[in-house]
Amino acid sequence: MFFASDNGSGVAPAILAAMTRANDGYARGYGADDAMVRVRDEIRRLFEAPDAAVYLVATGTAANALAIATYCPPWGAVFCHTTAHIAEDECGAPEFFSGGAKLILVDGPHGKIDPEAMALALEKTGSGGVHGVQRGMLSITTVTETGTVYTPAEITALTTLARAQNLPCHLDGARFANALVVCGATPAEMTWKAGIDVVSFGGTKNGCMGVEAVIIFDPAKAWEFELRRKRAGHLFSKHRYLSAQMEGYLADGLWLQLARNANLMGARLATGLAQIDHVSLVHPVHANMLFPEWAIGTHARAEAAGAVYYPFPAPKGRERARLVASWSTTEADVDALLAVLRG
C-alpha cells in the first residue's frame, strides 16, 4: 500500500535490462554515446520535430530550471500556477539558474492556470517601465500538481495569450506520459502544435531510475542549453546510463504502457473511494494522483495497517491525503487500501 509518490516505485525491468546491456564494453562520455543518437532520433520522431534539440538530465528540477534559464532573462517574470512544482518544490532553482527571474503565481481551479487570471497577470506585469520585472515566459505543468490534465485546447488558450506578448512557453511534463494517454493527443499536439517551445519530458516517475529529457523545438537555443547544463553540473560523464534508460523507456511504447497502468490504478482507487460514505475527492481524478478527504481517524487506521502516503492540510474536522499510483501499483495494492479506508 505504497501511495506516497510514483518515484517510490522501482525501475521497470525492461529499463533495468537496457542499462545492463549498456554496461557492456565502452562508450564515449558526455552525451556522445551512440545510444544518445538513437534517443534523439526517437524523440524527434515521436514529437514530429525533426530539428528538435534533445538533452538528458537526471532530475526534473534540473530539466525545469535549465529550460527556464534558457528562455527567461534575469529580469523576466515566469508566469506559473500557484501550486507549480517550480514555485513550491524546487528550492528556488529556476530563479537561481535564470539569474533571478521572478515567478509570478497565477491561480486557477484544480491546478490549471485560469486564462482570465493569466491575461490579468500579463497586463499587470512589466507596465512600470524599468522599475519592474518584464514579462518573461509561461510555464505550465501537466499532469498538474493537483492531478488534473490540460487538454491541448486548454494549453493553446494559455500559450496564445503568452505568444501575443512574444513570450516563450515551457511545459513541465514530469508526468508527460500520464497526461498524454489521458488526453488522447499526440506528443506534437500536446506540445509544439499547442504553442509549447520547450518540454521537460519525465522518465523518473514512470519507471526510469533517474532521467528526464529536455526537448527544445527551436534548435537555435540548443547551444545555450548545452552550456547551461554543463555549468550546472548536469552534463553526465557516464552519460550512456541516462541514454540507456531513455532508450529502454521509449522502446515498444513502454512509456505509454507504464503510464496506462498508473492511471488505471488511479481510476480504480477513485471508483472505490467514491463508494465510501465518509470520503470525497477534492480534485477531479484525471490520471494517477488523487486528493481524497475523509473522516478524522482514517489516517491513524491507514497508518496502522501499513499504508504509506502524504497527509495534506485539511479543513477542521476532516483529513486530507495525496495518493499517487505508479507503473508498478497492482489491483491488490489498491483493493487493500480501499478495504482499510472502508474501516
List of residues contacting ligand PLP (CB under 6 A): 59-61, 64, 85, 141, 145, 172, 174, 204
| Contact between residue 7 and residue 205 where contact means Cβ atoms under 8 Å apart | yes
C-alpha cell of 235? 552534463
Give least dist CB 52 to ligand PLP, A.
20
- Among candidate residues 118, 136, 137, 135, the one with its CA nearest the CA of residue 127: 135
Neighbouring CB atoms inside 10 A of 171's CB total 28
Query: Which residue, 249 or 294, is less far from ligand PLP as judged by CB?
Result: 249
H or E stretch covering 136: strand 134-141
Determine phi and psi for 22, rounding to 5 degrees: -70, -15
Give least dist CB 179 to ligand PLP, A.
10
Give least dist CB 29 to ligand PLP, A.
22
- Among candidate residues 278, 267, 275, 277, the one with its CA nearest the CA of residue 331: 267
Give least dist CB 335 to ligand PLP, A.
26
Query: Which residue, 80 or 279, is less far from ligand PLP as judged by CB?
Result: 80
Query: Which residue, 12 or 174, is less far from ligand PLP as judged by CB?
Result: 174
User: Residue 103 burial (CB < 10 Å; 0-12/13-18/19+)?
Assistant: buried
Query: Which residue, 288 or 298, is less far from ligand PLP as judged by CB?
Result: 288
Query: Which residue, 146 or 298, is less far from ligand PLP as judged by CB?
Result: 146
Query: Which residue, 125 or 142, is less far from ligand PLP as judged by CB?
Result: 142
C-alpha cell of 75? 529580469
User: How far is 39 from 166, CA to CA, in rounded Å?
Assistant: 31
Query: Which residue, 145 or 319, is less far from ligand PLP as judged by CB?
Result: 145
User: How far is 132 from 139, CA to CA, in rounded Å?
Assistant: 20
Q: Which residue is nearest to ligand PLP (CB)?
A: 60
List CB contacts of 121: < 8 A, sequence separation 6 or more. Answer: 79, 104, 106
Give least dist CB 189 to ligand PLP, A.
20
User: How far is 105 from 125, CA to CA, in rounded Å?
Assistant: 12
H or E stretch covering 72: none
Give least dist CB 94 to ligand PLP, A.
11
Query: Which residue, 287 or 341, is less far from ligand PLP as judged by CB?
Result: 287
Give least dist CB 229 to ligand PLP, A.
14
Buried b (16+ CB within 10 A) or exposed e, 294-316: bbeebbeebeeeebebeeeeeee
Strands 102-106 and 198-202: unpaired
Give least dist CB 180 to ligand PLP, A.
14
Give least dist CB 85 to ligand PLP, A.
4
Query: Which residue, 134 or 204, is less far from ligand PLP as judged by CB?
Result: 204
